[in-house]
Structure 1
Amino acid sequence: MSKKAMEVVKNIDLARYMGRWYEIASFPSRFQPKNGMNTRATYTLKDDGTVNVLNETWSDGKRGFIEGTAYKADPKSDEAKLKVKFYVPPFLPIIPVTGDYWVLYLDDDYQYALIGQPSRSYLWILCRQNHLDEETYNKLVEKAKEEGYDVTKLKKTAHTNPPPEAEDAPEDKKGVWWLKSLLGK
């Protein structure tokens, strides 16, 4: 069965897209801590036009994180198809691993987004707040379904209020799961 080409957001304003996004729901990876919560991503635009990516999650009170770089897959294209590169292991930059990051939906105010990639094995619903109203959530799920995703695999991410401050938590040294989950290995 041939699936139609995925629709990707065009003419994204990367500068506006920067900042912190909370993971509202995602396809869980078997490497991700089952009890991972308060998962979020922080994007910072660098002078060379690439994006610094900081992914964080909390598990058993410990903060796990991995940093990487995102950049447009094709600088000439107007489509929001990014590549994200992490180095594994995070503290020893030896093996760069690259994954796809396609923005499938983004509201006009850059407040919530649907992120996928060509294999349809991964899906993320992100929001500037750590909660999203049911109507908007369902709209994003519907959009994912239209793009050929098996939305029954979506699992909502638990968040605490207020969200934790990074400095408060002891570090989780096993932060390799981000990378594995990105690669689907």
Structure 2
Amino acid sequence: MMTKKITLSLTLAVALATSACVGKPGPVGNIAVPQPAKSVETNKYLGRWYEYGRYEAPFQKGCEAVTADYSLRDAKSSGAKIKVVNSCRKGSVDGKADQSTGRAKIVEGSNGAKLKVSFFGPFYGDYWVLDRGENYEWSIVGEPSGRYLWMLTRDEKPDAELQVMLKNRVIELGYDWSLVRITKH
């Protein structure tokens, strides 16, 4: 009985410490996050993505020139299949480089469109590819709480037509465009 209490206390302490490190989440920008619109083929999603815009999150505050690199992980590595490397420059496109490496695993039954991603310990967050281009030239990523949103493109500076399409699609998905922060590159 005492061992169970100690284990529960340690688990709660780790959870609280973890949430304190991540910081207070932002406002809910979409109270009805939709299910992903399309399946995702992992091999086509891999590679470099440039962040076009996002809901500002405490763990990304002040980040510019944001990129995300996805690659396959070694099959022996903790059951995770995908390596995630997020990079940014703090304060400006010429600011100090910052990088976080994590792992992701595909949620069974999601047609590859839902992942669980972890950047620290055994704690995983949701990562849903809500929509994507037919040729994987753009994607819109969210999660069930509606507090986080990312628009990713394969080009560092997407053309005006793609920018308008992304804005319209984000609004169609129920997100509040006034909360979007466009990323500088």
TM-score by structure 2 length? Answer: 0.73
- The reply to whether residue 66 of structure 1 matches residue 100 of structure 2 is yes
Give the secondary-structure state (helix, strand or coil) at the position aligned to 1:76: coil
**What fraction of aligned residue pairs are identical, expressed as a percent?**
34
Mapping 1:16-35, distance limit 5 Å: 16-34=44-62
The residue that corresponds to 1:128 in the other structure is 154
1:83 shift after superposition: 0.9
Shift of 1:47: 4.2
Mapped to 1, the partners of 2:64 and 2:38 lie a distance apart of 31
Deviations 1:85-126 (A, max 9, x none): 111xxxxxxx33321111111111111111111111111110
Task: Point out where structure 2 has 5 or more consecutive residues left out of the alignment.
Answer: 1-30
Would you say 1:109 and 2:135 are equivalent positions? Answer: yes
Q: Amino acid of the residue matched to residue 19 of structure 1?
A: G
**Residue 55 of structure 1 aligns with which residue?**
86
What is the Cα deviation at residue 81 of structure 1? Answer: 0.8
2:24 alignment counterpart:
none
1:15 corresponds to 2:55: no
Q: Which has the larger radius of gyration?
A: 2
Would you say the 8 A contact 2:106–2:116 is kept in 1?
yes
Q: Which among 78, 88, 93 is matched to residue 111 of structure 2?
A: 78
State the number of aligned residues.
149
Q: Is the 8 A contact 1:9 1:79 kept in 2?
A: no
| Mapped contact 2:41–2:112 kept (Cα < 8 A) | no
> Deviation above 3 Å: which 4+ runs of structure 1?
none
Secondary structure class of the residue paired with 2:58: coil
1:16 and 1:79 map into 2 onto residues whose CA distance is 11
Aligned amino acid, residue 43 of structure 1: Y
Deviation at 1:4, TM superposition (A): 5.3
CA shift at 1:144, angstroms?
A: 1.9
**Matches of 1:31 and 1:11, distance apart in 2:** 28
Q: TM-score, normalised by structure 1?
A: 0.73
As a proportion of its length, which structure holds more helix? 2
* Residue type at the aligned position of 1:59: K
For structure 1, the 5+ residue unaligned runs are: 88-94, 160-185
